[in-house]
Amino acid sequence: MHCKQKLSLPTMGCGTWAWGNRLLWGYRETMDRQLQAVFNLCVNNGVTLFDTGDSYGTGKLNGRSELLLGQFTREYQGPNQENICIATKLAAYPWRLTRQSMVNACKSSAKRLGRNVDLVQMHWSTANYAPWQEEILLNGIADLYEQGLVKGVGLSNYGPKRLLWAHKKLAQRGVAIATLQVQYSLLSTYPVTKLGIKDICDELGIKLIAYSPLALGLLTGKYSEEGPFPKGIRGPLFRYLLPEIKPLLTCLQQVAQARNKTMSQVAINWCICKGFIPIPGAKNVEQARENIGALGWKLDPAEIAQLDDSAATIKRVMVQNIFQTK
């Protein structure tokens, strides 16, 4: 039985939506309580697909994000509880050199979560630096599916050539690829416009997941080229991009005002209309509520074309993930 026959990704409104759990890095007590409230709000509103990774933690790669998500799942009592779907990504670390290492990694994730993983994903391809390692790790992913430890198998940061290669390898094991996760937003259309990944995924029956659909916050309208800028690595990036993307932000704002929506909601809805499952992060209830407002309606073709045309004029776009393959 193929994984896409066993794994049913939750849907709501005009498309499928998931809450990205990648922001759960190193928070304690007060923040954890806030995040539990975010989780509760999402599930209560029908957002039941949660994406995380075994490398998301406190800096010691100890999977704290999975620990928190497992805690939130156990403590939630309310509607849609039975529909919660957990997706995690297993890192292709250089010390994971055997099939069993991937099986062990997923079992560790399940232990932290307190439940089996529904969708297991290869976090990135090793094709750019250690292509010999990748088939071993993919076989470990296939072992997980064959042993009934996961309901579905997915990939992340794969381009069309490597995707077709992985599809062939997994098909030889009787395992279908259920999902492919790529960086995708109005500021990062590269996987579709340059690589043509959507046509291939549509042909193979693979559902696309868009991470960073708000381009690290650039598409929220909360930042301007005058500042202030966010701390850390985003600061220099925002200084570099904000002056260039003003026309796109203006277009996004105009569509949002006409729709009586926020810029974030329009940017997320645009991803949904493009056939992606967007996974925006939310670290407080206000952000979660805003993300949920992207559901239940749909941009019309003219609005999508307006946003597409504006995005196509931008010369400075988001930097691509270094692990993204061709």
Chain centroid to CA 48: how far?
14
At residue 228, the pLDDT reads: 85
* Phi–psi pair at 87, nearest 5 degrees: -115, 130
Q: Which residue range(s) make up the domain with 115?
A: 3-217+264-298
Judge whether 305 lies within some domain: no
Judge whether 227 lies within some domain: no
**Residue 172: is it exposed, middle or buried by C-beta count within 10 angstroms (0-12/13-18/19+)?**
exposed
Going by pLDDT thresholds of 50, 70 and 90, the confidence category of residue 32 is: confident
Strand, helix or coil at 153?
strand
Judge whether 282 lies within some domain: yes
Going by pLDDT thresholds of 50, 70 and 90, the confidence category of residue 323 is: confident
Judge whether 311 lies within some domain: no
Helix H or strand E encompassing 102: helix 99-113
User: Average pLDDT for residues 120-147, to the nearest whole number?
Assistant: 96
* Phi–psi pair at 85, nearest 5 degrees: -125, 120
Tens-place pLDDT, residues 204-256: 999 999 999 999 999 999 988 887 888 888 889 989 999 999 999 999 999 99
Judge whether 230 lies within some domain: no
Judge whether 319 lies within some domain: no
Strand, helix or coil at 293?
coil
CA–CA separation, 17 vs 9, rounded Å? 9
pLDDT over 60 at 139, yes or no: yes
Number of domains in the chain: 1
The catalytic residue positions are: 56
Judge whether 90 lies within some domain: yes
What CATH number is associated with residue 66? 3.20.20.100
Q: Using H for helix, E for strand and C for coil, what is the string for 233-284?
A: CHHHHHHHHCCCCHHHHHHHHHHHHHHCCCHHHHHHHHHHHCCEEEECECCC
User: Average pLDDT for residues 37-60, to the nearest whole number?
Assistant: 88
**Residue 134: is it exposed, middle or buried by C-beta count within 10 angstroms (0-12/13-18/19+)?**
buried
Judge whether 317 lies within some domain: no
Residues making up the chain, counted from first to last? 326
At residue 3, the pLDDT reads: 39
